[in-house]
Structure 1
Amino acid sequence: MAIKGYYGKVLDINLTTGEIKNLKVPEEDIKRFIGGRGLGTKILWDKLPKPGIDPLSPDNALLFMPGPFSGLPIPSSSRTCVVTKSPRTSAINPKYDHGSTVSYSNMGGFFGPEMRYAGYDGICVTGKAKNPVYIKIEDDKVEILDASKFWGMGTDEFDNALIDELGDRKFESCYIGPAGENLVPMASVLNTAARAAGRGGTGCVMGSKNLKAIAVKGTKSLNVAKHKEYLNLLSQIRVSFKENNNDGLKWWRYGGTANALASSSKGGTQAVKNYSEGTFADIEKIGTEANREKVWKRDFACFSCALACKKSGIAKGSYSVMVHDGPEYETGTMLGANLLISDLAGLQKLIAVADDYGIDIISVGNTIGFLMEAYEKGIIDKNYLDGIDLKWSDVNASLAMLNKICKREGISDKSCN
């Protein structure tokens, strides 16, 4: 019997052969390698057959690993680590080709807890399907299904299409957009509309396996070792959280991480104009107060989280945008201050398009900012940029470059690596 809080098994799926089995997790590994990050990294180590494996080859493993608290009503326990060998960190020297590092990007939302309710400590995917597929998990019933009709869909369209396909809103899913399908190395994995495992190229690895999505629904219950003590401790945590962190709770609910946009700019620590400056004079135009006044209408929370830092609404102005989330600190900084963009509706448009493509906003904001500075200094010209006049503060030019990067068109095929 597995240690309490664990099932002692990871769902193991080979997309090349179609084999589906349960991978037993040794009790020793559960004790030594803590949480989704630790256990996922250990399984990845065991799965890779030899050093130098191409991250985009069928031999690489892609793991979705929630922690032991996930699925329990413990505050902020929704996180799921997406663990793989990264396509983003290989050495330039060909002597060390594919000598890349492990990526353990993580995401909030509801996908991880639902996976636990289905009876798994994680999901491990290897191989490569001949055609686009998605994986459907309903407790012990696991299917690999055709996803050809979904290939090419943005995350917004796909999220709705998959719900229609499944005919059941109780499924939770994670998926990639066109950036992952096009093997853009900075592609992300998303769930719940905008909860992303963005770092390390997780979406690129998922796309290399022709895997569009994983949908899961479960009916099982999690066991804890000392149930009475657990309930008492949980009650203490909740009381302490409310009594001792009330100001922090209000801060998070009021603006989420977007609150840090103004404070970081004031402190001179913000990424501005491709990191050449630390303070953005127009930060208030894209910060918390501007969004509360003009954009945000509702607060949302991830599974078992009291913070509700996710904000949604409608942005109107230079663009009309349905806002699923944000800006958060990272998105407001990298597609806002870093590019000298103070047009709030324009910033929201950039964020929405990036999420729809399924691309890491931190990485793509870095890339566009670097190209803007190189263009400003005459290191590259408009011909090099495929005709884009990539100037600071220009939302349309930034959108044009974002589209090219996600489609791997022209110079962007090089700049996105």
Structure 2
Amino acid sequence: MMKSRIALAIALGVSAAALSAVNPAVAAKKEAAPTIKLGDAVRKELAPAQEAMKANDFAKAQTHVDAARAAATTEDEKYIVGQIQLNIGIVSQNNAKVCQGVDEMLATSKTDAESKPKLASQQGHCAYEAKNYAKAEQAYNNAIASGPVADDVYARLADAQFRGGKTAEAVATLQKVINAQAAAGKSVPTDWYARGADMASRAKAAPQFVDITSAWLTAYPVKQNWHDSLMIYRQLANPSGDADLDLLRLLRASGAMPLAAASAYSDYAIAVYLKYPNEAVSVLKEGIAAGKLNPTTSQNTREILAISEPKVAADRTAVKGALAASQGAKATYQSVLSNADLSYGFGDYKQAAELYALAGAKAGANADLVNLRAGASLIQAGDKEGGKAALAKVQGGTQKVLARYWTVLADHPAAS
């Protein structure tokens, strides 16, 4: 099975060492604030706890905080105990204590509006690290609902949803923030798209995979991304016959074919050599030039070249008369489609587009197939808008997905 770069996409998990602590300036609110009232039992424990912290005696500080916790009965008291617990965690670099303090503060109604997004985000990080993905999802959603959050909160929310078995929601979360970032004129890291594609592919969720990769290829139309998107979609959809040929033609047109395994070249050649030998020869020679095929060691390559190369000259002559033949009274859908595919294989995309249009008007025509191929031909002939108009007519199945990808390629040609 093909190993994809997407499968190695950045993991968005947070290590314990990297867990971000809440800013101490946010955590260390003054006890004297008018809305906070402490009883004597709690106050007498927190004062020595803070003194112990200043002396870096965290064990002693923790003992006093534990005693204050036991004595706390009101929300004010529980909130302040959580704050001091959080500060102990921050200063001692103890993530478990940070997480405990954050949970205690958020369990009360005393967290102010400015602090809540940061604290809820931290709570999400803590839950994620503990593999409590349901709690992490809830915390991240609370953070987002409370106010502005760091961009990576959305990415981590999506990862928590995915790890919790909510693939559709995870991809939708990433897509939502991607769209929002784009609308605001901000760039989105390529790893976010890659992670979304990885989530969808692992869950075998082809529709979500197509959505996220279409956006990815729009934003980052590099050949590696084209290769990964198309070849993983090929694994998900498992197309056969014409659908697989159309996918491989798109891969070749995107310039990403040299990144594929040798089998992609062989599969392409096998699909066309009996009917369109020139296309098979061209693909195999490209594979040889790319170092993916070796006629000395590949029996398929040797045999297909031996069968196909002698037929090329006659087919080249046939292409010259293909348009006239297809306009004749005896022309059928299949005969015109064959002439269109033959022209496509020789790189005569303008004529191929005309012939696909003629084929589409014949009885028994497969409208989605001819519109897809007409659109692909027009784009490669330089008529981008005409190609997109033809692609917009494709209605269903794998052809509709490929039409969507072709439209992206038309507007965003693949870069190296």
Answer whether TM exceeds 0.5 for this pair.
Answer: no
**Greater percentage in strand:** 1
Which TM-score bucket, shorter chain as reference? under 0.3
Greater Rg by CA: 2
